[in-house]
Amino acid sequence: MSLTTAGRIGLLTLLGTLSACAQVTTGNDLPTTPTPDGKVRVLRAASLPATSLTAMGYSDRQVEQAKGNGLRRTDLPAIGSGLTLLPDGSFLGITDRGPNEDHLDAAGKTDGKIFPMPDFSPALVHFRLDGDRIVPTGYQALHDPAGKGITGLTNVPGEELPFASAGATTPLPFNVNGMDTEALARFPDGRLLVAEETRGDPEIR
């Protein structure tokens, strides 16, 4: 949902458009060496069609509330903050922390972040490529041990203050479980490793 997100494993995404920097194949027939000049080479490109946040499990009410808070687009989820290629040639991506932008105080100085959909939770997205189209086949929001969405809100005092809208003057509560997810890796046994940028509580993580 942020304006720019970057995959960490040879895939880049910008506003829902994905460029594959590795040949999309199946099984073990995958590139394992860099190009001779040591540079990334785009071999194939595909785009995610407009996809409403309702496809990710959010209600019409939640989407309308986010629009009331100033969210301009509700159909461009950034599903590739982190990406990994699966053995069958499909992909597993992860969103970032959700829609956000700088919040300005009365003097016009940045004093926090706006989260127009504060209950948005980073999600794993399984998808495949069909020609030049990205086709999502499943979404799984990240949850805390109690089954509640972790959200993308900042964690503790000292981090950016979260606000629901540009006009809000009272911050939202911090969420110690909030994650700003940025990278995704898969172990051979199928377990996943997620990297994120907020401070959090290591006892909870």
Nearest to 175 by CA among 204, 195, 148, 152: 152
pLDDT for the residue 109: 97
Name the burial class of residue 74, with classes exposed (0-12), middle (13-18) and buried (19+) by CB atoms within 10 angstroms of its CB: buried
Whole-angstrom Cα distance, residue 134 to residue 15? 13
pLDDT for the residue 22: 31
Kindly report the backbone phi and psi dihedral angles of residue 126, in degrees, each rounded to the nearest multiple of 5, phi listed first. Answer: -90, 130
pLDDT for the residue 45: 86
pLDDT for the residue 35: 66
Whole-angstrom Cα distance, residue 196 to residue 178? 10
Supply 28's token pair: 């073990």
Task: List the alpha helices (DSSP H) in the chain.
Answer: 60-68
pLDDT for the residue 37: 76
Q: Look at residue 37 and give its three-state secondary structure.
A: coil
Q: Residue 50 in contact with residue 75, Cβ under 8 Å? A: yes
Whole-angstrom Cα distance, residue 160 to residue 133? 36
Q: Residue 80 in contact with residue 167, Cβ under 8 Å? A: no
Supply 6's token pair: 């970057």
Whole-angstrom Cα distance, residue 60 to residue 95? 20
Which residues are registered as beta bridge partners of 184? 194
State if pTM tops 0.95: no
Give the residues of the chain that fall short of pLDDT 50: 1-30, 202-205
- Per-residue pLDDT reduced to its tens digit, 20-72: 333 333 334 445 566 677 776 777 889 999 999 999 999 999 999 999 999 99
Whole-angstrom Cα distance, residue 42 to residue 197? 28
pLDDT for the residue 132: 92
Residue 190: its H or E element: none
Q: Which residue has the tokens 């920097």?
A: 21
